[in-house]
Structure 1
Amino acid sequence: MKGTIQILNISEYHCSLYLPPNYNILDVSYPVVYMNGNNNLEEIINSIESYFDIDCSSFILLNIESKNWNADFSPWPAPSLAKNGEDFSGCAYEYLNNLVNIIKPFIDAHYKTRTEPENTVLVGYSLSGITALYSLYLFGTFGKVGSLSGSLWYDRWIEFISSNSPINTDAKIYLSLGKSEERSRNQRIAKVGNCTQKTFDILSKQLVSTENIILEWNNGGHFTEISQRFSKALLWLMNL
């Protein structure tokens, strides 16, 4: 890895900040990718850094760890997937509000960023992927959004997006899912393939152009090649 990673605490969130090569040398500003959840930042960067300024723009990346996964990344309350598991408490709005109104302004104030929606990206995996998509209906902040193996089976998700519209209809959206993910014994999770396809179809009609959205099917299940899936999403979203 040629860039550098710093550890930050912003609004009580533990964050890892990646600065691209030449950040401290060149007098330029960069797009910012905000990444929900606890991800392998170094592995993701190692797989994409060589493409910078050839196939995709160089960018700053902030990985934000959740305080409570089932709270931060659930759009509204829902029962647990397991009989004795933790319920989803539905605090994604609070998380996104902190991201938009506290975390992003901090990054913009202290680093060389491009602040416009088209240069502000939000990506997430699994439950944090549905939260990335949820942001489209709450804020106009993120002009590029990626939901990787998103938990689009989530109760009432399809009903929600069917009856609401994205604030920024110019947004660029990347969706992906593993081909084996819908082969789950859990009846709720087993809907994920159908719900992901429905989400793609609905968003395709809500956005100004069908060229602004893609749905990519990957080999494997929910835990297959996660870092590589992030890299594929970022290459598409940040394509020059």
Structure 2
Amino acid sequence: MIEKKYIDMEGVFSGSRIVNIYLPDDYNERRKKYPVLYMFDGHNLFFDEEAAFGKSWGMKEYLENNDVQLIVVGIQCSFEGNGRMSEYSPYDLNYCGEFIQGKGDAYLDWMINVIKPMIDSEYRTKPDKKNTLIGGSSMGGLMATYAGIKYSDVFSKCACLSPAFELCHEQLMADVLASESQRGTKFFMSIGSTELEQTNKIVDFTSYMLELCHILQSKGANCYPRLIPGGEHNEASWEKQVPAFIEYLL
């Protein structure tokens, strides 16, 4: 079942956001506690009619049909101008000739210090690092990667689908190299072959993804890099990867 909350951004960012919270069907019949997966672009996860492009990840059906014992917290993104780019970027960017102020750290601080305590207080969660996951696609995939690197004391399992590494690979690599131990952290990283139209882009991206995974593993993390033949940059393609990253991370 899905519960909806309307969360005020409390001055960090403008307006309020819808948060979709998936609870296992037997949540109200049991007293057990559950791990929690926090996801970006929460409007795209569960219902086609809410998804930005009319197609969701179909996560509700997958979780229900496979009795996955997991709470999923999907937070809606900003729809104001380049607000999503700004919130989902850990670094300042020059994007298509326009300056984007990276507010990713402020956004993650809000997630960690406002959203997570609220979820942990109102639902039966396992709040420790081992049972706190984070995931997203595109800019959300970049943020999930960054969160696992910089906030590994909070998030231990990261689903990073089609991450926008090309926008900031040098900054991200510097943060990976400077990071402390990643022992106990897991990263699922994937990219679709058709997202990278030119052969050299496929080579460049996969080489970078493998290098990133190699460094993370040298610091104690477990990584699952994946090139998806025919994979595209859309929800229909990401839906097909839900079983793989859920099984790997859990």
Common fold by TM > 0.5: yes
The equivalent of 1:99 in structure 2 is 111
Equivalent residues of 1:143, 1:172 under 8 A apart: yes
Amino acid aligned to 1:27: R
- State the shift of 1:130 in Å: 1.0
For the pair 1:193 / 2:193, whether they are aligned, the reply is no
The equivalent of 1:40 in structure 2 is 45
- Gap change, CA 1:45 and 1:13, over 3 Å in 2: same
In structure 2, C-alpha distance between the alignment counterparts of 1:207 and 1:107, rounded to whole Å: 29
TM-score normalized by structure 1?
A: 0.84
| CA deviation profile, 1:146-190 (whole Å, cap 9, x unmatched) | 1011112222245324432156421121111112322259x9998
TM-score normalized by structure 2?
A: 0.81
The equivalent of 1:131 in structure 2 is 143
For the pair 1:149 / 2:154, whether they are aligned, the reply is no
For the pair 1:63 / 2:67, whether they are aligned, the reply is no
Of 183, 199, 205 in structure 1, the residue corresponding to residue 197 of structure 2 is 183
Q: Secondary structure, in 3 states, of the residue corresponding to 2:155? A: coil
The equivalent of 2:92 in structure 1 is 77
Equivalent residues of 1:31, 1:60 under 8 A apart: yes
Question: Mind listing any 5+ residue stretches in structure 2 that lack a counterpart?
Answer: 10-15, 48-57
The equivalent of 1:8 in structure 2 is 5
For the pair 1:214 / 2:224, whether they are aligned, the reply is yes
- State the shift of 1:226 in Å: 1.8
Greater RCO, 1 or 2 (C-alpha within 8 Å, sep 6+): 1
Equivalent residues of 2:91, 2:103 under 8 A apart: yes
The runs of 4+ residues in structure 1 deviating greater than 4 Å are: 187-191
Equivalent residues of 1:183, 1:190 under 8 A apart: no
Q: Name the stretch that deviates more: 157-166 or 167-176.
A: 157-166
- Gap change, CA 1:166 and 1:64, over 3 Å in 2: farther
Q: How large is the RMSD of aligned CA atoms in angstroms?
A: 2.3
> Identity, % of aligned pairs?
24
In structure 1, C-alpha distance between the alignment counterparts of 2:129 and 2:113, rounded to whole Å: 14
Name the count of aligned residue pairs. 224
